[in-house]
Amino acid sequence: MQPPTQLLLASQLLLALLLVLLPPAAQPFCQPFCPAPNSARPAPLRSWLKTGRVPPSSPSPPSASPPPAPSFYNITLPRSPGLSWRTDLSFRYVSVSAVDPGGPAAGTRVRKGDQLAAVAGESVVGLDFDGAMQAFGRLPSDAGRMELTLFAGSKEEMLAELGEGGGEARSEYTVEVLRKGKAPLSLKAAPGANLRSLLTDNGVQVYRSVARVTNCKGKQLCGTCIVDVREGGGGTNRKSVDEESTLRTNPGSYRLSCVTFVYGDLVVETFPEVEASQWTR
């Protein structure tokens, strides 16, 4: 009568465990019943089971070559280069977000993070995403290849390399605030500063009437912190769909200060002309 399969498997597992744990002198008795002789077991595994030490890891792969020094370079690629693009939070300064490993740019010096400086000799430094993409659209329709100028390095390094010609990188910007019946106020803002926070932290009121009590405290819910960016609107982030909808009946320079961020010198007017429904809602 054949023993049950479960019993046979349990016996083999027990013998295999004894083979590992027993001293060498006591192991020969179970070898005829084991699936493989003791010498066939991997030494690192047996050593780990006996000593508690982790088996030695495999050698680490060689590290990637260091990135090149910050510099401009030109490269000619097919019209579809296998590159993806992105911008910074101001929606300006286009850079490489990804290189398709199977695309034409793979294997070239183009790297993720390189800044796009020019398309076929036309500078796109500082343009928003749409403006930079329009430069690609102006290429001749029959052009199968194109020349790109890129910068290997960060946006700040590129601007520093360009100097005055490309707008020197700055650590702060000036926001001039125009208030009815009061003298203009000049404030300093770090790149990316929230406009509402900058104004309210410096004692500038952005709410009218009952909205001074009922506002959402900058949580982007009430739509009552309206300002007019009189100058320097290109030095802010692009309006979102929600902001566009909220301000659809106002001039294009009107912004909700709670969702506006500073990326350049601005002239801002508080309490611009709006309908009563916009500051009581």
pLDDT of residue 33: 46
- CA dist 227 and 273 (Å) reads 9
Q: What is the mean pLDDT of residues 200-210?
A: 93
259/221 same-domain check: yes
42-56, 180-194, 232-246: which range is least confident on average?
Answer: 42-56
pLDDT of residue 263: 80
Q: At what angle do helices 43-51 and 5-21 cross, to 10 degrees?
A: 80
Beta strands in the chain (DSSP E): 71-78, 83-86, 95-99, 115-119, 122-123, 145-152, 173-178, 185-189, 193-194, 226-231, 254-256, 261-262, 266-270
Q: What is the mean pLDDT of residues 133-143?
A: 86
CATH at 179: 3.10.20.30
Is 117 domain-assigned? yes
Among candidates 90, 96, 239, which has minimal Cα distance to 170?
Answer: 90
Is 276 domain-assigned? yes
| Alpha helix segments (H runs only) across 128-234 | 129-137, 155-162, 195-201, 211-214
User: pLDDT, tens digit, for every residue of 220-242?
Assistant: 889 999 999 999 887 788 788 88
Q: Which two tokens stand for residue 260?
A: 């506006």
Would you call 78 helix, strand, or coil by DSSP? strand
Q: Give the model's confidence band at 53: pLDDT under 50 very low, under 70 low, under 90 confident, else very high.
A: very low
Of the residues 139, 165, 191, which one is the last residue of a structural domain?
165
Query: What's the Cα-to-Cα distance from 149 to each of 95, 122, 183, 242, 268, rounded to whole Å?
Result: 11, 9, 46, 36, 36
pTM strictly above 0.75: no
181/237 same-domain check: yes
Of the residues 165, 195, 222, which one is the last residue of a structural domain?
165
Per the structure, the count of domains in the chain is 2
Give the residue numbers spanning the domain of 160: 71-165
Phi, psi of 39 (to 5 degrees): -65, -20
136/226 same-domain check: no
pLDDT of residue 251: 93
Q: Give the model's confidence band at 269: pLDDT under 50 very low, under 70 low, under 90 confident, else very high.
A: very high
Of the residues 165, 193, 226, which one is the last residue of a structural domain?
165
Q: What is the mean pLDDT of residues 243-266?
A: 91
224/151 same-domain check: no
Q: Give the model's confidence band at 48: pLDDT under 50 very low, under 70 low, under 90 confident, else very high.
A: very low
- CA dist 250 and 66 (Å) reads 51
Query: What's the Cα-to-Cα distance from 74 to each of 6, 117, 119, 121, rounded to whole Å?
Result: 70, 10, 10, 10
Q: Give the model's confidence band at 192: pLDDT under 50 very low, under 70 low, under 90 confident, else very high.
A: confident
Would you call 145 helix, strand, or coil by DSSP? strand
193/273 same-domain check: yes
Tell how far CA 32 is from the center of its chain: 62
